[in-house]
Amino acid sequence: MNEKDFFEEPAGEYKKEKDFTSLFCWQDSRKMKLFFYNEVIPKLPSYEEGNLKSQMRRAAVSSTANIAEGYGRYNYQDSTRFYRISRGSTFELKDHLISCLDLKYIEKEVFDKGLILIEDAKIKINGYIKYVQKLKKDQNK
């Protein structure tokens, strides 16, 4: 497998198994998003609906949606901008998770599980950003 297998769509027909859902950074971000939707947001009190709950929903969806949008851009610089937004949303979720622990909305076990998912997603997003930047650099040689 060469580097272009990870980023470029194959010539010819569209292959559904080769799109943004095949990216490890998107897969880990999806796990993180589902964790927040299933294990954190439901534990928040109703008075957080317009505040912390909605902010977490937006950041969680942004983490995967920006990877998908960046993947569809087919321009290294433009794509990287979306991957960085995804990374920012991941950091935002980390802050929200800390807030949930501080405000005693979640237990330490839920917090620890969330941190692992966030770190996994962050590492994969950072790696993919570096990979795309390398592709851009190699293309400009």
Q: And the tokens for 43?
A: 């534990």
Q: What is the pLDDT of residue 36?
A: 98
d(CA 108, CA 91): 19
What kind of fold does domain 20-139 have according to CATH? de novo design (two linked rop proteins) (1.20.1440)
Q: What is the pLDDT of residue 107?
A: 98
Q: What is the pLDDT of residue 13?
A: 57
pLDDT along the chain (141 residues), means of 10: 48 66 96 98 96 97 97 90 98 98 98 98 97 88 74
Q: What is the pLDDT of residue 136?
A: 85
Q: What is the pLDDT of residue 67?
A: 97
The domain limits of the chain are 20-139
Looking up tokens 């993180």 gives 32
Q: What is the residue-wise DSSP string for the chain?
A: --GGGGTSPPSSS--TTSSGGG-HHHHHHHHHHHHIIIIIGGGS-GGGIIIIIHHHHHHHHHHHHHHHHHHTT--HHHHHHHHHHHHHHHHHHHHHHHHHHHTTSS-HHHHHHHHHHHHHHHHHHHHHHHHHHHHHHHHT-
Q: What is the pLDDT of residue 76?
A: 87
Please state the pTM of the whole predicted model: 0.86
d(CA 30, CA 60): 8
